[in-house]
């Protein structure tokens, strides 16, 4: 597990009146202010805000990659069953090159199966989407390898092929697995990869430090390499903690149980881009 604490912006890929250039500008301000990461949601149709503009996160991240130099960038999280795995493999390898090895792929089951899956003729059953997610991860890693690769799964089949170039990052682009605790399957899945992004099932309330202890205890039972580097992400509202004068205490408490990425969640219904640009400049950890 990485010991250095990192701070990131975690923002919806939609908002009323927002355009792609706004996200690029905000990411540049985020880097300038000293944040470590900039992560976009991956929603196709935000049914709870139908008047909002939505952008494709991979296209916007490509623009961000070309306009930044240091911050990690990525999706949190991409529902892989909604995208073809070979396309994701190609797009993410390209993003890794554009960013000079700064890309992180966040993956998960995805939310709102009615409006973001069934409405577009895609699979909405959670169990089947979980199967598709696991097969997609196998395929993406196989294609990232640069070796000749074929696949014959329940949901996906590929004749022998070879994808080049390989990603810059070795052995591969980091994969963070998102999931709602205490649902267990996502956390067994996370044990195979490089990080975990937990949320609390059926609630916007934040996870407590004790929850992270339980999550990591559970994940470690399934990790084959106990000492491998593993990112643990905590989503919170930095500026709430700052107002309560216990931001430092929050960081100490959660980092002591294994959290090494703290991401501030910017909701589109909480403000506009001018507000967010001011917030990212006022980092509370400095």
Question: What ranges do the domains of the chain cover?
Answer: 6-281
Q: What is the rounded CA–CA span in Å between residue 156 and residue 162?
A: 16
The pLDDT value recorded for residue 204 is: 60
pTM given for the model: 0.95
The pLDDT value recorded for residue 206 is: 79
The pLDDT value recorded for residue 286 is: 76
Q: What is the rounded CA–CA span in Å between residue 286 and residue 269?
A: 27
DSSP-derived letter for residue 271 is -
Q: In 3-state terms, what secondary structure has residue 176?
A: strand
User: Can you give the C-alpha Rg of the chain in angstroms?
Assistant: 18
Q: What is the rounded CA–CA span in Å between residue 263 and residue 168?
A: 25
Q: How many CA atoms lie within 13 A of 251 on its CB side?
A: 20
Looking at 3.20.20.30, 3.40.50.740, 3.40.50.620, 3.30.230.10, the CATH number of the domain 6-281 comes to 3.20.20.30
**Cβ-contact 277, 26 below 8 angstroms:** yes
What is the crossing angle of helices 57-67 and 20-33, to 10°?
40
Low-confidence residues of the chain: pLDDT under 70:
1-3, 202-205, 226-227, 243-245
Q: By 3-state DSSP, what share of the chain in percent is helix, strand and coil, each rounded to 5?
A: 40, 20, 40
CA 276 to the chain's CA centroid: 20
């Amino acid at each position: 597990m990485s010991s250095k604490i990192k701070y990131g912006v975690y923002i919806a890929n939609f908002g009323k009146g927002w355009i792609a250039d706004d996200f690029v500008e905000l990411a540049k301000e985020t880097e300038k202010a000293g944040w470590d990461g900039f992560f976009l949601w991956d929603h196709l149709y935000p049914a709870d805000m139908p008047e909002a503009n939505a952008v494709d996160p991979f296209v916007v991240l490509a623009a961000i990659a070309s306009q930044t130099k240091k911050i990690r960038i990525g999706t949190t999280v991409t529902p892989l069953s909604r995208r073809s795995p070979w396309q994701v493999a190609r797009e993410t390898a390209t993003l890794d090159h554009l960013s000079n090895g700064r890309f992180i792929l966040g993956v998960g089951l995805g939310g709102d199966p009615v409006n973001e899956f069934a409405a577009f003729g895609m699979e909405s059953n959670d169990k089947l989407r979980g199967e598709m997610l696991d097969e997609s991860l196998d395929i993406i890693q196989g294609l990232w390898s640069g070796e000749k690769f074929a696949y014959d799964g329940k949901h996906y089949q590929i004749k022998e092929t070879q994808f080049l170039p390989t990603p810059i990052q070795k052995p591969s682009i980091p994969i963070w697995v998102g999931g709602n605790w205490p649902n267990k399957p996502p956390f067994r899945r996370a044990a195979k990869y490089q990080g975990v992004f937990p949320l609390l099932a059926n609630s916007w309330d934040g996870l407590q430090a004790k929850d992270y202890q339980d999550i990591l205890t559970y994940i470690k039972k399934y990790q084959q390499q106990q000492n491998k580097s593993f990112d643990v992400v905590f989503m919170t509202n930095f500026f709430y903690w700052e107002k309560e004068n216990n931001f430092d205490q929050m960081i100490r408490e959660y980092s002591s149980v294994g959290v090494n990425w703290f991401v501030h969640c910017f909701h589109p219904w909480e403000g506009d881009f001018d507000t967010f640009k001011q917030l990212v400049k006022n980092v509370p950890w400095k």
